[in-house]
Structure 1
Amino acid sequence: MKKLLSALMLVLPICGFAELDTTLTRKAEIVKKGWNLGPIPVIAFDSDLGFEYGAVLNFFNFGDGSSYPDYRHSIYTEASRYTKGSGQYRIIYDSKYVLPGIRLMADLQYLPTLAAEFYGFNGAESRYHKSWTDPDSRDYRSELFYKMNKDVLRAGVDLQGRFGSPKLGWLLGTSYQRYAVGPLRSSKLSAEPSTYGEWDVLYDRMVRWGVISEGESRGGDHLTLKGALIYDTRDNEPNPMRGIWADALVYYVSPSLAGGTSGHAKLALTLRKYVTLIPNDLSFAFRAMTQNVVAGRCPFYLLPQIVTVSPRRSAFEGLGGAYSLRGILRNRIMADGFALANAELRYKFWRMHLLRQNLYWAITAFTDAGMVTQKTSLDLSGVPQSEYDSYFRSTAQRPHFTFGMGGKLVMNQNFVISGDLGKAASSDDGSWGMYIGVNFLF
């Protein structure tokens, strides 16, 4: 709560200097031209990752203003760290004006994580014991029991164009991805001592039992290719008031360049629908998505990866966490295939002008749902019979639900400061999740 109050104290003084713009006294937006900078110190919070600190610089070029609020060039740069041991260092470039008729998206990202989430496989079939991570519980094993080390380096380029119609499009992309995974680095982390051994965590046991193969246990280097068909009638990318955005994406990942894993392919289908309920102010947004492995075997460290055609987020991890099921533990539900749905009401309740910038505030109410549709095949023959029931269970897959509310501050209809608070419906999936960052979910 102290972190939330601190964030509000940073934002609320804006109101004292801003010229308010209500529904009754609404003024025309200032048409932006040339380069505009959206700098912001990163003072954010994610209940899975901790308190975030750093800086974001988002440069937008609107040219002569004739295309506003659509930008001609966007350069997004971020350097930040989380107090639970992860970081985000990335540069993302996005433009429709470098190649005639083609949108170019390029990114370079380094995402180190000292304590990445790992709860096992196939969602509800893997047991989660919150008491095992509580030093005050008599069942305590380790605060880091459901953690592992994972560092990701990615460099990618996507090209997106149209089939003669502004509604129908295509996307082609490629990337290099390096995943370095392994045991926790005890020299950089601390945990309360345990009679079980505080560094003997779930990841180590899965490797020892052979559930995670030796060839996959340290990660790998991969080349990827993806192609997609896109249907898009949105009126505004960052926060559409109306339209449909749908795509079918095929994603191929090569075998590890160092050996040890096979290649695989995934098929992802996504539908997003936006409906205006009150012109300019209130809208309903819905996303339905499914992703499955359709060929080969996906290494365990790539199972959480969710691929998308979005230029703002070419891939993210889930299910669970800020970008998929808000309120559920990050990566709590991990399998070869899943279905995901998000529904939001978005209300723009307050507009203002500040330093010749167009600002508006919005609130959201949402519900999220997801479930496993394609289980990961596991070799459990090496699991001791005496330990089996503590880690695994035979149960039918079920939906996982969350609900919550959020708030947004949007500058020039493109730069979005976001906050969401979500609640998991089942304690087996977590409890509350708080996420303060950038952009609408979809």
Structure 2
Amino acid sequence: MLLIRTMWTGVLVASLATAAARAEGSSPAPPPESTQAPAEELTPMPPPPRTGWGVQGLPLINYNSDEGLGYGARLLVVDSGDGSIQPYRYAFMAQFFQTTVGVAIHRLSLDAPRFLDSPWRVVLDVALINDRFSPYYGPPGDTRYVPSLNTCDDRDALKSDPNVCPGNPDFRGARYYAFDQRTFPSVMLNVRRSLNGPWQVAAGYRFRLTELRTRYAVDDLGQARDSLLEEDVRAGRISGLTVDHLDGVSIFRTAEVTASLLLDLRDNEPAPVRGMFHELAVRGAAGVTGSAFNYFGVTANLRFFHPLGTDRLVAALRLFADVMGGDVPFPQLTSFGGVEWRETMSGIGGVSTARGMLKNRLRGQVKALANGELRWKFLSVAPGNQHLDFTLLAFMDMGQAWADLGSLDARAPRYTGGGGLRIAWEDNFIVRLDYGVSPQEGTTGFYLDFNHVF
């Protein structure tokens, strides 16, 4: 469970190919029949635990419709000690990762499952997170996306004049729905321990220094007219930003203290068949914590897993609600709380929340999300003693956002639906492919990533 989502496409594909080739090339002859009574079956000895230090280098590859092709590398340095602490004593990770659409996630992290031989698991993460073309589609209750306003088939024409698109009189600019956001440093410290049985408690600290720009240079196809975000700020339609923030670079410093109570009854954390995982989390930011803004947040995360007649058919449900209040800065309107949430998973819409909906389609101080999946494991094979499970699934995602608690109403949720495939290697490393459709907005999304959405 080393911090952010794992993106090991290159490693897994190569390993599967090697395992399959090994299986084809080494078919053992059947053993001769024996007339003697079979001896007592021997239980194979488990491999000895790993000890000492180890170094691993991993390529990182993923893809999704919002952020393009992602690529990079990860270096892991693992201290297994004497092998008595699983999965390791300490793990240090350095990551370089970026995508073809201007997203970058570079980080250093430490994971200590039993820090200094205590019952506390400590995770420290320091990151640079860059989103050069972060999307914005309007405030809650008035979100709007018209493809013709930022779409131009003649990209070469925009290089000479980014304000005009030949053949598209509605064009307002390639960056009409975008702004530039860069967070450095993003510091996250989490401590977590078991209480009694499945109950756990966690606490933490999050510090972010975020730079925001609403204008792009001509070389980045920045238009002369206002973007949608600038229009909404000038009209007073969005909270957390003022007209003063539209001049050059704005800096937002936030520092949150967090606490969580968790109940984990899952039978297998990476791919549960039965059980549940629930979390109630609170967070708060104030001057005393190092924040330039005073606000709070409460998060409820409920997950249920239940087999339908057989362990090969599983119904899975996630219910997620997040409420914020106070002086919430604009960059935090897409954020959620909880120990398993990461900065790269923010907003309703996209790879981690509502597949088929545009990334960060909905934002606000109040957010609600529901994800339902039906997972059917239709094939299990073991080429070269490498256990592989293939699972088909159908899903429906729903979400909605409100400006604040005062504007909460019975507004109908936005929804998406689709299907996908999971390839699980030894029950732990899971490749996921999803294709989602938003019937309300006519948008689609394809996602190649790792691990279940929940």
- TM-score, structure 1 normalization: 0.79
The alignment's C-alpha RMSD in Å is: 3.6
The one-letter code matched in structure 2 to 1:333 is: L
Per the TM alignment, residue 432 of structure 1 is displaced from its structure 2 partner at its CA by 0.7
CA offsets 1:280-321 (integer angstroms, 9 cap, x no match): 54322211011111x4121111100122221x7477311111
Match of 1:121 in 2: 139
Per-residue deviation, 1:104? 1.4
Aligned to 2:270: 238
Cα shift at 1:408? 2.8
Alpha-carbon offset, residue 150 of structure 1: 0.2
Pick closer, same or farther for the CA change 1:313–1:71 going to 2, 3 Å.
farther
- 1:436 maps onto 2:448 in alignment: yes
Q: Distance in 1 between matches of 2:288 and 2:329?
A: 9
Q: CA deviation at 1:62?
A: 7.3
State the Cα distance separating 1:228 from its structure 2 match: 0.9
SS across alignment from 1:149? strand
When structure 1 is superposed on structure 2, of 322-331 and 312-321 the one drifting more is 312-321
Specify which structure has the higher proportion of helix: 2
Q: 2 CA distance for matches of 1:17 and 1:29?
A: 26
Structure 1 CA distance, aligned partners of 2:15 and 2:231? 45
1:103 is aligned to 2:121:
yes
What is the number of equivalent residue pairs in this alignment?
Answer: 401
Q: Is the 8 A contact 2:64 2:447 kept in 1?
A: yes
After superposition, what is the alpha-carbon deviation per residue over 1:217-257, rounded to whole angstroms, capped at 9, x for unaligned?
A: 62411211001111111122222222111011001123599
Say whether residues 1:44 and 2:66 are aligned partners: no
Paired position in structure 2 for 1:409: 423
Post-superposition CA distance 1:389-420 (Å, at most 9, x none): xxxxxx97221111112223334433333222
**Alignment match, 1:290:** 321
What is the 5 A alignment of 1:299-314?
299-310=329-340, 313=342
Letter in 2 for 1:403: G
Per-residue CA distance 1:359-401 (angstroms, 9 max, x = gap): 44433321111112554889xxxxxxxxxxxxxxxx9722111
Between stretches 149-158 and 130-139, larger displacement belongs to 130-139
Residue 333 of structure 1 corresponds to 362
Q: From 307, 313, 320, give the equivalent of 2:349.
A: 320
- Counterpart in the other structure of 1:169: 200
Q: After superposing the two structures, state which structure 1 stretch, 366-375 or 345-354, moved more.
A: 345-354
Indicate the SS of the match to 1:303: helix
> Structure 1 regions of 5+ residues with no counterpart?
1-5, 21-26, 192-196, 379-394
Identity of aligned residues (%): 25
Cα distance, 1:44 vs. partner? 1.9
TM-score of the aligned structures, taking structure 2 as reference length: 0.77
Contact 1:405 1:421 in 2 (8 A): yes
For the residue of structure 1 that corresponds to 2:371, the secondary structure is strand
Contiguous gaps of at least 5 residues in structure 2 = 1-9, 25-42, 154-167
Query: Could you tell me which residue of structure 2 aligns to residue 397 of structure 1?
Result: 411
**Offset of 1:178 from its aligned partner?**
1.0
Partners of 2:414 and 2:328 lie apart in 1 by 23
Displacement of 1:119: 1.1
CA distance, structure 2, for counterparts of residue 32 and residue 161 of structure 1: 27
Alpha-carbon distance in 2 for matches of 1:198, 1:36: 53
Write the distance in 2 (CA, Å) between the matches of 1:362 and 1:78.
30
Higher strand share: 1
- How many Å separate the matches in 1 of 2:386 and 2:180? 42
Q: 1:290 to 1:352 in 2, by over 3 A?
A: same
Distance 1:302 1:341, change over 3 A: same
The alignment partner of 1:409 has SS state of: strand
Q: Which residue of 2 aligns with 1:17?
A: 21
**Amino acid of the structure 2 residue aligned with 1:304:** T
SS of 2:220 mapped into structure 1: coil
User: 1:327 is matched by which residue type in structure 2?
Assistant: G
Match of 2:100 among 79, 83, 89: 83
Write the distance in 1 (CA, Å) between the matches of 2:298 and 2:80.
Answer: 35
- Label 1:54 to 1:29 Cα distance change in 2 as closer, same or farther (>3 A): farther
Distance across 2 between alignment mates of 1:142 and 1:256: 42
C-alpha spacing 1:91/1:243, structure 2 compared with 1 (3 Å)? farther
Amino acid across the alignment from 2:257: L
